[in-house]
Amino acid sequence: MAVKLKIKKGDNVKIITGDDKGKTGKVLAVYPKTLKVVVEGCKIAKKAIKPSDKNPNGGFINKEMPMDISNVAKIQE
């Protein structure tokens, strides 16, 4: 069973630990089963993509990856 979380999609949060410590951003997604969140502009990873109609040459894209919810703190507005 999933736990009720205090952080929701659309909230502004501050990163309190890790490589992006001190950055702030908006929550793009919340995964309650794994206790992870995706924050805009934080924990960027370079992902390889195959060629497709949208991107005929393939290549790399920068993508936000999920981080543990304990690494973020909600900012009061």
Sign of the alpha-carbon torsion through 21, 19, 8, 34 = negative
Query: What's CA 67's distance to the chain center, in Å?
Result: 6
State residue 53's pLDDT score: 92
pTM confidence score: 0.84
Pick the closest to residue 3 from 28, 29, 30, 33 (CA basis).
Answer: 33
Better-scored residue on pLDDT, 55 or 74: 74
State residue 4's pLDDT score: 84
Provide mean pLDDT across the span 31-37: 94
